[in-house]
A and B are shown apart, each in its own frame.
Chain A
Amino acid sequence: MSSANLDPTLETQTVSSTAHAEEDHRMFGFIVFLLSESIIFISFFVGYTVYKTSVTDWLPAGVEGLEVHDPLINTIVLVSSSFVIYFAERFLHRDNLWGFRALWLLTMAMGSYFLYGQAVEWMSLSFGFKSGVFGGTFYLLTGFHGLHVLTGVLLQGIMLSRSFIPNNYSGGEFGVAATSLFWHFVDVIWIVLFLLIYVWQ
């Protein structure tokens, strides 16, 4: 009889402990993934630096250099959005769901503005990705980073729509924390990229 009582309790304990354990590990796993992902960018950056310092005809014929003014505005928008998403997350932790949604939507808007600005810049340029190694690396780096921004905005959209499921986000949630971390990551990458491509000319 005692064993019959023991059985279900132990089973539920086991199930809940494994389910709980999986919750705990996701953030660790995501950070490991981001560290690995950062190596792709570092490889591209190293490749860019090697080309920039070794290729003789760096700029294609007829290209003077890159315009910095508009990309700088873009940069300021993207970097500020990191602060906005931080406060959005704090609203969520204080269970202020509407505050979270408002700031989260603002972050998405800022990310979308960045993508729009990037597209406008690409349209206005006089060189393409076939214009030597300069053109290739420029479009590779900005394009690969742009893909990450797009992924971030899409993830934010998913998290925003999930906030309308009742009680889904009571007391914080892994998806929101991971999206926010991903956004900071994309931001830091952009700062390095901006310094490498636009400032160091």
Chain B
Amino acid sequence: MSNAPLELTPPNLQPQPGAPDNWRRFFSFSTDHKVIGIQYIVLAFIFFLFGGLLAMVMRGELITPDSDLVDRTVYNGLFTMHGTIMLFMWTFPMLNGLANYLVPLMIGARDMAFPRLNAAAFWLVPVFGVILIASFFVPGGPSQSGWWAYPPVSLQNPTGNLINGQSLWLLAVALSGISSIMGAVNIVTTIFRMRAPGMGWFKMPAFCWTVLSAQIIQLFGLPALTAGAVMLLLDLTVGTSFFEPSRGGDPVLYQHFFWFYSHPAVYVIILPIFGVFSEVFPVYARKPLFGYKVVAVSSLIITGLSGIVWVHHMFASGTPGWMRMLFMFSTMAISVPTGIKVFAWVATIWGGKLRLTTGMLFGLGGLSMFLFAGITGIMLASAPFDIHVNNTYFVVGHFHYVINGAVVMGFYAAIYHWFPKMTGRLYYEGLGKLHFALTFIGLNLNFLPMHPLGLQGMPRRVASYDPEFAFWNVLASLGAFLLGVSTLPFILNMISSWVRGEEAKDNPWRAIGLEWLVASPPPHENFEQIPVILSAPYGYGSDEPLTANDPTKELASELSES
């Protein structure tokens, strides 16, 4: 009987980490949520490197006031593709990868609700990635209208070809939307229907709450962008006049369609990172998540409010005064649930026994960057201030602090935290800390100078500028190159640790949570027996057991004694 558990594990389903047949799975149409999760993350990271390369060319152009490195039209294509790649091919797939990997493990499910749909949604990502990058090679080059694709700029078609940069852009974004909706249906169904017995809503990890909130935004927001994109595509190809002002169309309506989705999309991106913070801080501070229920519910409040703030992107689009007031108010209101979360994380860390592993460092770094981005965010929410800095580098600085500062740092925190679970290996702390230092310095050097630049009035999306802006631009460019260099120790660390790293135990961080009860990497179908859940996974320092058969109870009580 003693070897019964071993025999229950089906043979051949779990090859040794690093073994050759382990690699092959990641290039197959696998329906295992863990394989798909890693496929998403690795592919998205490759696109991240490519998008970052485009940004470094742009910063190379901006290191001198004149337009000298690349042609102006190339520069337009660069910022359009940089934004599009970073949003549609890096953040969304990367976060879908984290959700794919972690949600079934965290809620005690064997897989996602629809494994084949899951795989199909993933394999759309390389398809639309290739389509988007192919637009570099069509006559006229890629779309130059920015990632917003505002008409009438996006309706200009100088080459007159049906296949042009803009139509390929629209096709790629449409496929990305289909993939995201498939993912969202899958994740929402999984969270609603497949939680382990005993896992009520308020026993679910905060990460799952944030993923659920984010995917609900995809479900109600993306169709609005789809509607706008279909109309834009018809204008561009068959000659309707929905957004063509010279023929009675209304270009501002496109802006409404676009931002009705694309502002909430920011919450799609940041909410799962809030979830990562909520999971990482309790582990390394050895304290329960402060105000767990409030943190959980505030995610849904953010989802609700995110649907009624979009016009703050359009304060300068001839918006009537009552609309400005209304959306200024709603935008400021959304900082309340967000502030609650920040408060809860600080209270979680406060007085804890901090262990500054690389994962924790990135978590703390991401939190402080988010706080800064939140402060400039409230400034921008105010209509008079927003009109003053509209379309300047202040806005660019603000959202890069959100997306690079908080989201990318949060992504690194998640990767370092769950790397031992995903691979069964430990990463090298020294390289990790070097990576953190380079990233933290690089991104602040890159994005902090954009704020004074914006306040002085330097517009965004220009390839040349007045020499008075040179000082801050040189700093920003140096920061961008440093940020590029910072990915090297990360890549080195990930590859070498995965191949040769020290073997990780099931629970190297002594964390509480269902994903830490299974082997590293988790076996096929995750759990031998689906556990029965007794409490939320934040019982640090208390006697509260996590599951009915309860291996963490000893862990919890051991901690309370120590």
Partner-B contacts on A (CB < 8 A): 2-4, 6-7, 10-11, 14, 18, 21-22, 24-26, 28-29, 32-33, 35-40, 42-44, 47, 50-51, 54-55, 57, 129-130, 132-133, 135-137, 140, 144
Query: Of B223, B242, B525, which contacts A39 at CB under 8 A?
Result: B223
Nearest-Cβ distance from residue A101 to partner chain B, whole angstroms:
29
Whether B188 pairs with A43 at a CB distance below 8 angstroms is no
Whether A39 pairs with B224 at a CB distance below 8 angstroms is yes
Residue of B nearest to A4 (CB): B7
Partner-A contacts on B (CB < 8 A): 1, 3-4, 7-8, 10, 110-111, 113-114, 181, 184-186, 188-189, 192-194, 219-224, 226-228, 230-231, 234, 238-242, 247-250, 253, 257, 260, 525
Query: Which 8 pairs between the two chains have the least Cβ-Cβ distance?
Result: A43-B227, A39-B223, A136-B240, A40-B223, A36-B219, A29-B189, A25-B113, A3-B4
The verdict on A10 contacting B8 (CB below 8 Å), with A28-B192, A32-B219 known, is yes
The verdict on A47 contacting B257 (CB below 8 Å), with A29-B189, A40-B223 known, is yes
Nearest-Cβ distance from residue B189 to partner chain A, whole angstroms:
4
Nearest-Cβ distance from residue A122 to partner chain B, whole angstroms:
15
The verdict on A33 contacting B185 (CB below 8 Å), with A57-B248, A132-B248 known, is yes
Whether B224 pairs with A43 at a CB distance below 8 angstroms is yes
With A and B bound together, what is the CA distance between A7 and B4 in angstroms?
A: 9
With A and B bound together, what is the CA distance between A54 and B249 in angstroms?
A: 10
With A and B bound together, what is the CA distance between A37 and B185 in angstroms?
A: 11
The verdict on A22 contacting B114 (CB below 8 Å), with A32-B188, A57-B248 known, is yes
Q: By DSSP majority rule, is chain A's interface helix, strand, loop, or mixed?
A: helix
Whether A11 pairs with B248 at a CB distance below 8 angstroms is no
With A and B bound together, what is the CA distance between A130 and B206 in angstroms?
A: 50
Residue of A nearest to B220 (CB): A39
* Chain A hits for B8, CB < 8 A: 6-7, 10
Residue of A nearest to B222 (CB): A36
Query: Of B186, B188, B192, B223, which contacts A37 at CB under 8 A?
Result: B223
* Chain B hits for A22, CB < 8 A: 113-114
Whether B181 pairs with A33 at a CB distance below 8 angstroms is yes
Whether A11 pairs with B223 at a CB distance below 8 angstroms is no
Whether A3 pairs with B248 at a CB distance below 8 angstroms is no
Residue of A nearest to B257 (CB): A43
Query: Of B181, B194, B240, B247, which contacts A129 at CB under 8 A?
Result: B240
With A and B bound together, what is the CA distance between A90 and B110 in angstroms?
A: 35
Nearest-Cβ distance from residue A21 to partner chain B, whole angstroms:
7
